[in-house]
Structure 1
Amino acid sequence: MIYPIFKQVHLLLVVFVSTTLAFDQPYFVQHCYKADPHVNECLKDSGNLLAEYFRRGIPELGVTEAEPILIDDIGISLGNGPDGYRASFHNIEAYGVSNLTVTNVRSDLDTYQYQISFYIPRITAKAKYKSSGVLILVKASGSGDYWGEYEGVKVKIYFKAQPHKIQGDTYLSLEQMKLDFSVKNIKMGVENVHDGNTVLQAALNLFINTNAQDLLKEMKPDLKKKLVAIMSNFIQNLFAYIPYEAWVS
């Protein structure tokens, strides 16, 4: 008699539906299964789905406009002594960051550890700058507008989370995050230098574009701290809004 078989199938469907619909699956998250041998590929696809909606804005997470990414200030210091070159960049606006593609995910789901790699084709930035000291034998004290173009940006982030229960659902809280990045091609420059000092502007632009990678290396420690703070805030908001079961079960 086949009736008991249909009854068992119906019972399984009821259990499955009641489990999966215990909460509303967010439209910007793809669900993955821990037992899936290709779970990291699924998490990569989920990351790209999230990035796609991030570009449009996710009001539920307080993201109405993905760009510009705002950074308050960063600084660099070259050389020692009273004539050492110092520069600070403030009111930084970056565009193109949201055009990222997640390229790889490595995870330890038992310990809630993740390493995510992504690629950004091009980022443009603008800021106000102020500098002091001597640069290639030119007194480089001044201020003006900074611009930058960064192509072939590769980013790798690592984070660890801790689970906790809220009304029967598991939520994560961010415990640790690290970040590193590299840029293949860099173009940078300054313009509208204070007092229209064309000699200073030419000297700065020559130095900047001749030593772009070295300057980025000097900026990196400060920049990484700012980016970690921005990404930590976004991920923590994400974790607070979405139960872990929406990501992985």
Structure 2
Amino acid sequence: MKIFINLLCAAISVFFMCGVKVDGKYRGLEFLEPCSRSDPDLEACLARSANALSEHFRHGLPQLGYPEVEPIVLDEVHISLGGGPDGYKAQFRDVAARGVSALRVTGLRTRITDDEVQLQLALHIPKIRANAKYRSSGKLILVQASGAGDYWGEYGHKYLRLQQLKMDFSVENIKMGVENVHDGNTILQAALNLFINSNSQELLKEMKPDLRRKLVQVMTSFVEKLFAQVPYDAWIID
């Protein structure tokens, strides 16, 4: 069985708290325009820099070790609906998401001291499509839904060091579906599609804690790698 998921208009809120240290190797990114710490429009300037970085990431940034950005891969996500022996449980492995590189920073707030930078970003992603391998057990809409298949739905410079990252997200529209149901049962496939799309937000709600935890892991790794290679003064000048 193949399952797909489309997320439309994903809104993401991300909070970074970073320490400032002197370490690492400098790698210049010419398209980044440093923002003056004394600029009254510092937050708007940083948002422009973040969007410039996002724009270039869509085509890959091999100088930062990212020849390709997509797909974004999550190793595993779980969902559990109901209890008892017939409660529906699903495990999604190798979740590959495409469309994330189209994100835009729509809001930014910052607090900067001599030894700490706090950033809160609001991000918007128009559409995400995800595919995964899955294994499930239990009953869904009073039919046995056990199975397995595919799921779609330079030194001396100051550097930032990530201390904490928090995030939350919401999805305006979501579309899920199944394909290639076992034994080619088109009636069962239609019933499953109707149930899944009628309850898509509830299904997403059940997936959200595990999904958010995995996304924080991926984003933490990305931000740490970015901050280790791009110095503080590429972002902000005093």
How does the TM-score come out when normalised to structure 1?
0.79
Query: How many angstroms does 1:48 deviate by?
Result: 0.4
Higher strand proportion:
2
The alignment status of 1:56 with 2:44, answered yes or no, reads no
Aligned 1:1-249 pairs, distance under 5 A: 25-110=28-113, 111-148=116-153, 167-249=155-237
Greater Rg by CA: 1
Letter of the 1:31 counterpart: P
1:148-204 C-alpha deviation (Å, 9 max, x unpaired): 2xxxxxxxxxxxxxxxxx943211111110111111111101112334344543332
Query: Residue 124 of structure 1: SS of its match in structure 2?
Result: strand
C-alpha spacing 1:200/1:133, structure 2 compared with 1 (3 Å): farther
Letter of the 1:147 counterpart: W
In the other structure, the counterpart of 1:152 is: none
Farther-moved stretch of structure 1 (44-53 vs 125-134): 125-134
Contact 1:107 1:114 in 2 (8 A): yes
Give the Cα separation in 1 of the matches to 2:68 and 2:151: 23
Give the Cα separation in 2 of the matches to 1:88 and 1:193: 17
Number of residue pairs aligned between Structure 1 and Structure 2: 210
C-alpha spacing 1:64/1:24, structure 2 compared with 1 (3 Å): closer
Higher helix proportion:
1
Query: How many angstroms does 1:41 deviate by?
Result: 0.3
Give the Cα separation in 2 of the matches to 1:180 and 1:122: 17
Contact 2:70 2:101 in 1 (8 A): yes
Greater relative contact order (Cα < 8 A, sep 6+) = 2
Give the Cα separation in 1 of the matches to 2:83 and 2:31: 50
Contact 1:138 1:203 in 2 (8 A): no
Contact 2:27 2:229 in 1 (8 A): no
How does the TM-score come out when normalised to structure 2?
0.83
Percent identity over paired residues: 58
Letter of the 2:218 counterpart: I
In the other structure, the counterpart of 1:3 is: none
Query: How many angstroms does 1:242 deviate by?
Result: 1.5
Query: How many angstroms does 1:116 deviate by?
Result: 0.6
